[in-house]
Amino acid sequence: MTEQTEETEETRGTPAPSRRSLIGWGGAGLALGAVAAGGAVAMTRTGDDVDPAAAETGAAIPFHGERQAGIATPVQDRLHFAAFDVKTEDRAEFVQMLKDWTAAARRMTAGQAVGEGAYGGLAEAPPDDTGEALGLKPSRLTLTIGFGPSLFEKFDLAGQRPEALVELPHFSGDNLDRNRSGGDLCVQACADDPQVAVHAIRNLARIGFGKVVIKWSQLGFGKTSSTTPEEQTPRNLMGFKDGTRNIAGTETDRLKKFVWVGEKDGPEWMAGGSYLVARRIRMHIETWDRTSLQEQEDIIGRDKGEGAPVGKAKERDKPFLKAMLPDAHVRLAHPESNEGATILRRGYSFTDGTDGLGRLDAGLFFLAYQRDPRTGFIRIQRNLAIDSLNEYIQHVGSALFAVPPGVRGKDDWWGSTLFGKEA
């Protein structure tokens, strides 16, 4: 965000300030680049030419679309995830907040400041934007909203609650912290620059003041899965390649089959959306680090260097499950062991200081999208009850959200299919 108020096709028509427009647009040049692979639009405001670097890590991902960005779009390096609880009982006020959030999200994902910007406005009023993303590129920021089961106990929404939006059952080994679980709604902010992701959540929380309050949040660094198999597979904190057999963003058929809610799945307002499972999984890093290489590889079911399945030579070779130990993670998580269950993983590593007992509070913030959690995450997680990995991990946070379809254009807003036209 080098300037505050540049316009793009997506934000054109949204209210912009007069005074700053005159100052800001007079000198700065806006270069809209060619559409880069993955649908990202390169932007730079330093001159007339498109900065080639911006096309990759600094680009803007389109906010509008049939689906929300941040699911099948390429996974960025950083995450700030926040779950909110609703404080207002006034439906109209809540809907207005969703509209205000959408307007802000539209601008921030395009690399623009919120509202009238961070400076230059009324000296007597706090600025619309908090300012810490000024000068930074859009950084492929995506903002993805989801609605938790508890939201449907409010605003007369009970009849609209999807059957698939169940309460997640208790799984063996769960040690869930209520303060890191649940939430009426969530926003997943992913970006290549952590400051851009944090700025986005902070400004949404600020807009929501008095209407929603942050219940819990999670910062993530280092993606542990990708939707772009042509790129190098990232590694998780156990040092293993993670996401090898994930659904790619280009696999339209598999996305349709396993990730997107179909028109006939019901309810109508969820068509084109998805369900997001979030699990904060703590790793007992210190114990893992004292485990022999052979045992580590047996537990995962792949080798550490190449990431090849047991008995195979290459990472992308098809796993032969019977060659693995019966309690190997990959063997138990594989679709063939779960009646075909397949999910799109999009998690991140985290390290949140220490636990006061000389151990890192580190692990994997697991995020998975699916068409139906009952035949997705729940089925797989039940099968993982005997996973030998369980000795080294513990699930300490949990949430499930219904992720509505995308915002279609500049008059549309987050949640419009659920809250209807009356708003």
CB of 341 to ligand HEM, least distance (A): 8
Q: Is 243 exposed, middle or buried (0-12, 13-18, 19+ CB in 10 A)?
A: buried
**Is 22 or 293 the residue whose CB approaches ligand HEM more closely?**
293
Rounded CA-CA distance 196/183 in Å is 23
**Should residue 280 be labelled a site residue for ligand HEM when binding is judged by CB under 6 A?**
no
Contact 336, 272 (CB under 8 A): no
**Should residue 4 be labelled a site residue for ligand HEM when binding is judged by CB under 6 A?**
no
Stretch that binds ligand HEM, among 66-74, 156-164, 250-258, 375-383 (CB under 6 A): 375-383
Rounded CA-CA distance 210/203 in Å is 14
**Should residue 168 be labelled a site residue for ligand HEM when binding is judged by CB under 6 A?**
no
Rounded CA-CA distance 327/103 in Å is 48
Contact 61, 69 (CB under 8 A): yes
**Is 142 or 388 the residue whose CB approaches ligand HEM more closely?**
388
In the shown chain, the binding pattern of residues 330 to 369 toward ligand HEM, with x for contact by CB under 6 A and - for none, equals: x--xxx-------x-------------------xx-x---
Supply φ then ψ for residue 130, to 5 degrees: -75, -20
In the shown chain, the binding pattern of residues 171 to 210 toward ligand HEM, with x for contact by CB under 6 A and - for none, equals: ----------------------------------------
CB of 399 to ligand HEM, least distance (A): 14
Supply φ then ψ for residue 339, to 5 degrees: 50, 35
Rounded CA-CA distance 23/16 in Å is 12
CB of 233 to ligand HEM, least distance (A): 8
Residues touching ligand HEM: how many (CB under 6 A)?
29
| Interactions with ligand HEM, residue window 382-411 (CB under 6 A) | 384, 393
Q: Provide CB contacts within 8 A for 258, sequence distance 6+.
A: 247, 342, 343, 344, 370, 371, 376
Q: Which residues bind ligand HEM (CB under 6 A)?
A: 236, 238, 240-246, 279, 281, 283, 300, 302, 319, 329-330, 333-335, 343, 363-364, 366, 377, 380-381, 384, 393
